[in-house]
Structure 1
Amino acid sequence: HGIEVLHASDADRPMPTGSAYKLYVMRALVQAVENGELTWDDEVIVRPELRSLPTGDMQDLPDGTRVSVRETAYKMIAMSDNTGADLIADRIGREAVERAVAASGHHDPALLRPFLTSHEVFELGWGEAELRTAWVERDEAGRRELLRTIARPMTVRGSDLGETVHRLGLDWHMTAYDVLHVLDGLRGDSARDTTGTVEHILTAYPGIAVDPARWSRAYFKAGSCPGVMMFCWLLEDGDGTAHVLVLRQSADDQKPIGDGLFLRGLGSRVVNSGLLTGDTAR
């Protein structure tokens, strides 16, 4: 099916996207369920070395807590729960997520290899300075080895986050088209899922007020890190046509990015204006 581009600005430029990486983790999880490797009712177990920082609330669960894959995936997408995403990624394996990146049509999957967890980005980005030096200097194999050395309870606290690190490759870089392709891939995943679980998870939180008379479904994901802000939506109209909106900001310094209210407000105005469907009042 063809893509009609209504507006594009630097859409081919890879940019850091923060938590949009969870869309790839979700795709890999759906594939694992389809392959019979696990079910939505299987459980993940909270362990100290998998605990991450907020967003989300799963980081507050006691060690040994068992949570269903279904609830964990729901929190990963609807609440952007970082610990939830890391628990899922640990359960299905890094290589599975890397396969999902390639299968989802990322323009350069090597940009996301090794595929980082949130725990790893926090620990490398704002932990010991020599970790960042090692990350920058090493090739892919060396980086994988480095990640094995930080597979331990996190030393970084939320208050440690400051300087931007995305230009060191400590983020998940995607073009706007990469975002479009993974959202569309998830729409296909949902169509194949007879249980309705995937759709329930993806539509739980649309990010903004969405008019159900205009849009029959709305997928949403936001992402942020110091110097990074992004929002993306896949909205389907009554005819079953999907409309994708991707808004991205990045800067070497956090200040110009702000708190995301500008970008979210812009998204709301575009979605509710009729620009996407061409039904603006004349």
Structure 2
Amino acid sequence: MTYREIIAAGAIAVLATAPQALASPAEINAIETLWQNPEDAGVLVSESFARAVPNAQLTALVDRLVKQTGPALAVTGDKGAYMIRTETHEIPVEISLDDDGRIQGLFFSPPEVLTEGPAATLAAFEALPGTVSYLVTSEDKTLFDRNADTPLAVASAFKLGVLKVLLGDIAAQNRNWQDVVTLQPEDKSLPSGRLQTFPDGSPVTLHTLATLMIAESDNTATDMLMRVLGADRVANALGLPSVLTTRQAFALKADPELAQEYAAASETEKPATAKKAAAGPLPAVSDVLGPMTTGVEWPLSNAKLCALMGEVATADVFSVNPGPVRAGDWKSVAFKGGSETGVLNLTAQLTGKDEGRVCLSVTINDAAAIDETKAAGLFTRLAHQLATSGK
């Protein structure tokens, strides 16, 4: 799961051409006009933008955001990065205009509820449907927690364990970032990611695999690393008896009979059942979109995820995607999340400009789909509050 996938239902990200440095008043006026009159989207955007994003789609998106958050009271910011403020929300927006002053690039981040402080933001998390757990620490001291030691399904956040094993091998000089791994047919998994579209035999460095795994949550990159490093070592890093590859998880989820067999198997039998499931053809994406399959996941606690983050957060692969965190609030951001229907995790280690370290980890499990846009907005709000409150 990547940040932009989390908010796909509530955001549009299109940069048709390189951003032009027009005066910020023109950008502010474009945002205000679009917010006040979403139906006028067609006259505000460039031809290239309209080809990429149909006017009806943009109008529907902005109309939904306005109904959710209310009229704009102010638009502040500069140089393409702005904040729409309503009575109840703040909505970060990035915009670029072409030489004619028309919108050529636009990206809305999740609306942030204007809660009064971290405790209020966490209370808003608790009010979401489902089982909610979280942990907030500063310099390893607990500030807030709710069931932080209880393992819940965390989807792709387990990839922090893969990174831990890889970094250990690099530090021990058993491997080098430049080492090349060849893509095998059995490595290929379902999205997120892009490597599943590469031809068999493609050579990929360990550094590229790690970057794709963290920044884009590339499942095929993850499975390639697990093949090279050993799934048993990843399981040990996670504190689990065994661990699924993403291909195995998809295969089990698409086959209810095998999934039941896997869930009922002993810990020593589970790996063989998982390998049997993954030996067949990849399932269709439509076959794995349903709610979480019990027992076919990666159960980790917030405490474990923060501990893992503490060991891997300095890796440069985190620099590509800061997730739902305002990167400018912090000296550095290390983010990894995970999601499937009924599962959401957001975990970040944040280093302040005073070098202080904060970890945030929130997990939600529910039988129904989770409002990921709302949860991501609350996470953004919480991180910003911690950056400005001095903890």
Give the CA deviation at 1:139: 0.3
Report the residue type matching 1:123 in the other structure: A
Is 1:139 the counterpart of 2:254? The answer is no
Structure 2 equivalent of residue 117 of structure 1: 245
Structure 2 equivalent of residue 98 of structure 1: 235
CA displacement, residues 18-70 of structure 1 (integer Å, 9 cap, x when unaligned): 11011000001111222333211111111111100000101100111111111
Is 1:25 the counterpart of 2:151? The answer is no
Is 1:87 the counterpart of 2:198? The answer is no
Structure 1 equivalent of residue 99 of structure 2: none
Give the alignment partner of residue 336 of structure 2, picking from 203, 221, 232.
221
Indicate if the aligned counterparts of 1:48 and 1:153 stay in contact, CA closer than 8 A.
Answer: no
Measure the CA separation in 1 of the matches of 2:249 and 2:275.
Answer: 13
Structure 1 equivalent of residue 310 of structure 2: 184
Is 1:46 the counterpart of 2:158? The answer is no
Indicate if the aligned counterparts of 2:258 and 2:277 stay in contact, CA closer than 8 A.
Answer: no
Report the residue type matching 2:184 in the other structure: R
**Structure that is richer in strand per residue:** 2
Report the residue type matching 1:206 in the other structure: P
SS in 1 for 2:297: coil
> Which consecutive unaligned segments of at least 5 residues does structure 2 have?
1-137
Indicate if the aligned counterparts of 2:139 and 2:356 stay in contact, CA closer than 8 A.
Answer: no
Q: 1:1-282 counterparts in 2 under 5 A?
A: 3-101=140-238, 109=239, 112-127=240-255, 129-166=256-293, 168-187=294-313, 190=314, 198=315, 200-212=316-328, 214-254=329-369, 257-258=370-371, 260-273=372-385, 275=386, 278-279=389-390
Report the residue type matching 1:208 in the other structure: P
Report the residue type matching 2:264 in the other structure: E
Measure the CA separation in 1 of the matches of 2:174 and 2:327.
Answer: 38
CA displacement, residues 75-94 of structure 1 (integer Å, 9 cap, x when unaligned): 00001100000001111111
Report the residue type matching 1:145 in the other structure: A
> Which consecutive unaligned segments of at least 5 residues does structure 1 have?
102-108, 191-197
Report the residue type matching 2:323 in the other structure: G
Structure 1 residues 211 and 87: CA distance shift in structure 2, 3 A: closer
Measure the CA separation in 2 of the matches of 1:183 and 1:10.
Answer: 18
Measure the CA separation in 1 of the matches of 2:223 and 2:288.
Answer: 19
Select between 46-55 and 154-163 the one with higher mean Cα deviation: 154-163
Measure the CA separation in 1 of the matches of 2:339 and 2:251.
Answer: 16
Give the CA deviation at 1:146: 1.1
Percent identical among aligned pairs is 26
Indicate if the aligned counterparts of 1:26 and 1:73 stay in contact, CA closer than 8 A.
Answer: yes
Structure 1 residues 279 and 239: CA distance shift in structure 2, 3 A: closer
Indicate if the aligned counterparts of 2:325 and 2:380 stay in contact, CA closer than 8 A.
Answer: yes
Indicate if the aligned counterparts of 2:352 and 2:387 stay in contact, CA closer than 8 A.
Answer: no
Indicate if the aligned counterparts of 1:44 and 1:67 stay in contact, CA closer than 8 A.
Answer: yes
Structure 1 residues 118 and 211: CA distance shift in structure 2, 3 A: closer
Give the CA deviation at 1:278: 2.8
Give the CA deviation at 1:136: 1.7
Measure the CA separation in 2 of the matches of 1:250 and 1:207.
Answer: 20
Structure 1 residues 43 and 153: CA distance shift in structure 2, 3 A: farther
Give the CA deviation at 1:272: 1.5
Structure 1 equivalent of residue 93 of structure 2: none
Give the CA deviation at 1:277: 5.8
Indicate if the aligned counterparts of 2:347 and 2:360 stay in contact, CA closer than 8 A.
Answer: yes
SS in 2 for 1:7: strand
Select between 52-61 and 133-142 the one with higher mean Cα deviation: 133-142
Q: With structure 1 as the length reference, what TM-score do the two structures score?
A: 0.84
SS in 2 for 1:8: strand
Measure the CA separation in 1 of the matches of 2:325 and 2:241.
Answer: 36
SS in 2 for 1:5: strand
Indicate if the aligned counterparts of 1:6 and 1:276 stay in contact, CA closer than 8 A.
Answer: no
Matched positions, count: 254
The structure with the largest alpha-carbon Rg is 2
Structure 1 residues 75 and 153: CA distance shift in structure 2, 3 A: farther
Measure the CA separation in 1 of the matches of 2:300 and 2:261.
Answer: 23
Measure the CA separation in 1 of the matches of 2:186 and 2:324.
Answer: 34
RMSD: 1.9
Measure the CA separation in 1 of the matches of 2:321 and 2:368.
Answer: 29
Structure 1 residues 45 and 211: CA distance shift in structure 2, 3 A: closer
Give the CA deviation at 1:211: 4.5
